[in-house]
Amino acid sequence: MSHPTSPLSLEQAASILKSGGLVGLPTETVYGLGANALDPVAVAKIFAAKERPFFDPLIVHIPDIDWVPRVARVFPPLAHKLAQHFWPGPLTLVLPKSDIIPDLVTSGLPGVGVRIPAHDMTRQVMRLADIPVAAPSANPFGKLSPTTAEHVFHQLGDRVDAILDGGPCRIGIESTVLRVDDDRVTLLRYGGISLEEIEDLIGPIDRLVDQTSHAPAAAPGMLTSHYAPRTPLIIADDLSAEVGSGPVGLLTLQGDGDLSRFSQVEVLSPSGDLVTAAANFFQALHRLDRLNLRLIVARRFPETGLGRALNDRLKRAAHQEPVITGP
């Protein structure tokens, strides 16, 4: 098999997947760690490579909407409407799984998460291999998500058979996850499609994602600590908070305020655009995490549009650290 960093053709990527190997694959959200979704042994290798617990289900990727019946038993009209509107794109629909999907993929749940990624290379690889591809984000479990092929190489290079370099991810945060049961839609994870966009299309939906006490069983994988840099991270509403001595980095939407106390500042979008901020988010965190800072201070995003998904990622990145609020 080819070395993970050597250039890889789409045919080679397809053939590695078909023979049960692991391939780092580009998508518009984050890079995925792909394996044949129909082969439990190949799927088990994903969990081993990521050191991911088996209770956290994997998303199954397909290249075209007419593949849905291959992986899902039912495709409710409401799900079809969402798929037509948002696919290919950063939306995962949890639908009743078909029998060919191994229980390992869904962690024993009756539903399977399905998504068509908006990346032509990865869709073409799936067509060539003629198999659906199970792919979590290509990072070790709980760590920062990868948005470049280089991030995948640094984090999992010795555990994958190949990495397909499709450039930096355009959206930069994971897909929004919705469960669809008949006429009822439930938000399981904030992501690249905003709540506003979804509700504009289908009206108000349930938000299991905000009810932390109920979330773990229905939306496993939504752990409190996740997407975390090695450097401790705190969330701040206000830059006047005391941060102590030593090198401190700042992650901020815009570059306003007194930034002189920070040894490194990552401004995600000078104009305050949340779509641009999402695209830069994980790359900026990876950069800060490599600087051996004592602390990363992350400014809370406005709780609107993709800001909700970004705040969700910050909360999980901050885990045990206290949340600083203004004076």
Q: Which residues bind Mg ion (CB under 5 A)?
A: 137
Given 111, 132, 166, 249, the residue binding ligand TXA (CB under 6 A): 111
Residue 199 in tokens:
């509700």
DSSP string for 223-250: -SS-SB-SS-EEEES-TTS---SS-EEE
CB of 227 to ligand TXA, least distance (A): 9
Give whichever of 218 and 267 is closer to ligand TXA, judged by the CB atom.
Answer: 218
Closest CA to 227 of 119, 134, 151: 151
CB of 234 to ligand TXA, least distance (A): 24
Given 21, 24, 57, 63, the residue binding ligand TXA (CB under 6 A): 57
CB of 313 to Mg ion, least distance (A): 10
CB of 174 to ligand TXA, least distance (A): 4
Whole-number Å distance between alpha carbons of 73 and 183: 16
Burial of 7 (0-12, 13-18, 19+ CB in 10 A): exposed
Name the residue with tokens 């690249």: 192
Give whichever of 56 and 273 is closer to ligand TXA, judged by the CB atom.
Answer: 56
Give whichever of 166 and 249 is closer to ligand TXA, judged by the CB atom.
Answer: 166
Closest CA to 62 of 105, 107, 118: 118
Q: Which long-range contacts (C-beta less than 8 Å, at least 24 apart) are formed by 49-53?
A: 49/22, 49/156, 49/159, 49/160, 50/136, 50/139, 50/140, 50/141, 50/156, 51/140, 51/141, 52/136, 52/141, 53/141
CB of 289 to ligand TXA, least distance (A): 18
Contact 35, 125 (CB under 8 A): no
Chain positions 202 to 261 lying near ligand TXA, rule: CB under 6 A, are: 219-222
Tell me: does residue 88 bind ligand TXA (CB under 6 A).
no
DSSP 209: G
DSSP 193: S
Q: Strands, E, within the chain: which ranges?
A: 23-25, 32-36, 59-61, 91-96, 111-115, 133-134, 162-163, 176-181, 184-189, 206-207, 233-236, 248-252, 264-267, 295-299
Give whichever of 128 and 228 is closer to Mg ion, judged by the CB atom.
Answer: 228
Which option in Mg ion, ligand TXA, none does residue 109 bind, with CB closer than 5 to 8 A by kind? ligand TXA
Chain positions 162 to 201 lying near ligand TXA, rule: CB under 6 A, are: 174-175, 177, 188-189
Given 125, 126, 129, 135, the residue binding ligand TXA (CB under 6 A): 135
CB of 64 to ligand TXA, least distance (A): 16
Stretch that binds ligand TXA, among 4-12, 67-75, 86-94, 151-159 (CB under 6 A): 86-94
Using Cβ positions, the residue closest to Mg ion within the complex turns out to be: 137
Give whichever of 118 and 236 is closer to Mg ion, judged by the CB atom.
Answer: 118
CB of 60 to ligand TXA, least distance (A): 8
Sequence-distant (≥ 6) Cβ neighbours of residue 18 within 8 angstroms? 36, 129, 131
Give whichever of 76 and 172 is closer to Mg ion, judged by the CB atom.
Answer: 172
Which option in ligand TXA, Mg ion, none does residue 32 bind, with CB closer than 5 to 8 A by kind? ligand TXA
The residues binding ligand TXA (CB under 6 A) are: 27, 29-30, 32, 56-59, 90, 92, 94, 106, 109, 111-113, 115, 117, 135-137, 174-175, 177, 188-189, 219-222
